[in-house]
Structure 1
Amino acid sequence: MTTSDILLRTLDGQGILRLTLNDVARRNALSEAMLADLGAAIDDAGSDPAVRVVVLAANGPAFCAGHDLKEMTAGRAGEDGGKAYFTHVMSLCAGVMQGIVNCPKPVIAEVTGVATAAGCQLVASCDLAVAANTAKFSTPGVHIGLFCSTPMVALSRNVADKHAMEMLLTGDMTSAARAAEIGLVNRVVAPEALQETVMEMARKIASKSSMTLATGKRAYYAQREMTLASAYDYASGVMVDNMLAQDAREGIGAFIEKRAPQWQDV
């Protein structure tokens, strides 16, 4: 695994890849460089058989402050007032968020500090999220005349409409406890217990068949956009294919024989 200054990568012996946002001076903002590095790292993790689970963490007091507004403002210098540049950055960011959802490996957010705007979007895009009780979340674009429209996409797929609209319309900070209540994060723990809580969850998931996890993650996000009948038709087909897979045969056999399964990840 390579390492850059602003995104650190470590892979342990159990297949858990930690991607740590490390642009502390800019509060881990999603600059062009950060988006490029993060997108590449997620793509690499998806195709690397050594990676079984991805943990997305951050150094410093902020998990992620969203887009780099100074960088975005500099983009206005173009002849079109910044339209082409803004289009490029939004496309790049949308690609990263969709890359997390489409990655066949489960992605867990480990949230130590403030996650605002596209930083909140980043948390919402992950499959699971655990936060320190000191963490806070917001979509504060309304304070500066910029509605958080792209964070809205991920947020609205995590929490109920009225909770999402409250965050989007007021721009208020949401505590970690409240974020857990509305479904933005899975659980909240003391800061000193955060990393071990996340790693325990990651180790548990990493012990499963990666084929099964990839099948389930892909099916989950696909079926939720379907009608009820279409979702059942689709999921039934997924179950049939899954039953025919080697790891399902092995897992069921191991359960019946009361032994630990030996996954081949196929």
Structure 2
Amino acid sequence: MLWENDVIYEEKEDIGIITLNRPEKRNALSKGMLSQLADILYKIANERRVKVVIIKGTGKCFSSGHDLKEILSSDLHDAEETFDIIKRVMIAIREAPQPVIAQVHGYALAAGCQLVAACDLAVASEETKFALSGINVGLFCFTPTVFVSRNIAPKRAFELAFTGDMITAQEALKWGLINKVVPREKLEEETMALAKRLARHSLSVLEAGKKFFYRQLDLSWEDALECATKTIILWSQRKEVKKGITAFLEKK
């Protein structure tokens, strides 16, 4: 287990678990916490010891967003550092070879909602509330909107960003922000079960699939199909693919 004051990291078999650990501050994303989170994500990606990553929070909520007291006291240089670091976190999640799952409870607000949206999958407990609440204090959720608007329909994303209102876990599920809603007491169990379903596959397949998935989203369907065709041709000739097909055909 790796302890980094505001972030805890541990591994259970093929699954890495990152815990946001500022419960007294509702896991507000301070510059220090974000820096630790980015470092751990890059370490996980480089070491390649686990196949799936879970991000969760301690205490009463997943994350209330940026540490507003820190932003209030910041100058331009401090603000630049803070928002560059969270950009680094978002890039680390997206570029990691491992699928990243958000395990969400309580509240996921503003940058906390951004963190959920940036993860590849998300499981939330029934009582969870989501919001792009920055507009309520005059700081529009510019960076969170980037990821939320790529998870849900534009008009829904606009509604979240421009009202600052909270939505329920069931609404977040219906809108496409999360994958599953479960009772609070089942949250850890259900998230781990999803992680294990992914971890059955090789990291090389997970990595290639994740890279392709996000790349093709930005292409026209013709270019995406061309990219997919070239990729599957090459992958069909890999030894591990032929081994897997042979085992399937032989019912192994």
Q: TM-score, with normalisation over the residues of structure 1?
A: 0.92
In the aligned structure 2, how far is the partner of 1:197 from the partner of 1:43?
26
Alignment partner, residue 3 of structure 2:
3
Aligned residue type for 2:242: R
Aligned residue type for 1:27: R
Alignment partner, residue 200 of structure 2:
207
Percent identity, aligned pairs only, is 38
Moved over 3 A (4+): none
In the aligned structure 2, how far is the partner of 1:238 from the partner of 1:47?
23
Asked if the contact 1:209/1:247 (under 8 Å) is kept, the reply is: no
In the aligned structure 1, how far is the partner of 2:97 from the partner of 2:165?
34
- Is 1:256 paired with 2:249? yes
Q: In structure 2, which of residues 131, 137, 142 is the aligned counterpart of residue 144 of structure 1?
A: 137
Asked if the contact 1:54/1:106 (under 8 Å) is kept, the reply is: yes
The SS at the match of 2:45 is helix
Equivalent positions of 1:13-24 (< 5 A) are: 13=13, 15-24=14-23
- Is 1:66 paired with 2:59? no
Aligned residues: 252
Equivalent positions of 1:111-130 (< 5 A) are: 111-130=104-123
> RMSD of aligned C-alpha atoms?
1.0
Equivalent positions of 1:60-139 (< 5 A) are: 60-75=59-74, 82-139=75-132
Tell me the CA shift for residue 2 of structure 1: 2.1
Aligned residue type for 2:221: L
Asked if the contact 1:212/1:242 (under 8 Å) is kept, the reply is: no
Question: Could you list the runs of 5+ residues in structure 1 that have no partner in the other structure?
Answer: 76-81, 260-266
- Is 1:12 paired with 2:12? yes
Tell me the CA shift for residue 121 of structure 1: 0.1
In the aligned structure 2, how far is the partner of 1:50 from the partner of 1:141?
37
Tell me the CA shift for residue 128 of structure 1: 0.3
Q: TM-score, with normalisation over the residues of structure 2?
A: 0.97
Alignment partner, residue 198 of structure 1:
191
In the aligned structure 1, how far is the partner of 2:104 from the partner of 2:223?
35
Alignment partner, residue 164 of structure 1:
157
The SS at the match of 2:73 is helix
- Is 1:181 paired with 2:180? no
Alignment partner, residue 25 of structure 2:
26
Tell me the CA shift for residue 228 of structure 1: 1.6
Q: In structure 2, which of residues 224, 228, 231 is the aligned counterpart of residue 238 of structure 1?
A: 231
